Amino acid sequence: MADKTCVVCGRRIEWRKKWERDWDEVRHCGSACRRRGLREVDARLEAAIEGLLDARARAATICPSEAARQVDPGGWRELMEPARMAARRLVEKGTVQIVQGGRVVDPSTAKGPIRLRRSK
């Protein structure tokens, strides 16, 4: 079975025996993402990432914190994980790459500071 991507956090969902009968309906990686769902702020973060990248040179990168600051200048720190989630969803759509040290990394396993750039 092919892996899927969680519609909320953008992480890879690996096939499990317990989902054998329901694999076609699986959309979330776990109960936390199922409860959280997609919110209006998630769409705003995706749009902010796209807008910031559109305003820069093709090869330029941004930090997810820039999108979080644009969406909520006073509460951007609380939006850091949602901004990373938005970036992972954009990776799944094929519009963005997540890089560390100039190299593209797996969005599901990247830890620490990341940068975002347009897909080549």
CATH number attached to the domain at 40-118: 1.10.10.10
pLDDT in tens, 63-103: 999 999 999 999 999 999 999 999 999 999 999 999 999 99
Contact (CB, 8 A) for 98 and 119: no
Type of residue numbered 59: A
pLDDT at 47: 98
pLDDT category of residue 1 using cuts at 50, 70 and 90: low
For the entire predicted model, the pTM comes to 0.92
pLDDT in tens, 92-113: 999 999 999 999 999 999 999 9
Q: Whole-angstrom Cα distance, residue 100 to residue 117? A: 11
Domain ranges of the chain: 4-36, 40-118
Mean predicted lDDT score pLDDT of the chain: 95
The beta-strand segments (E) located in 20-77 are 61-62
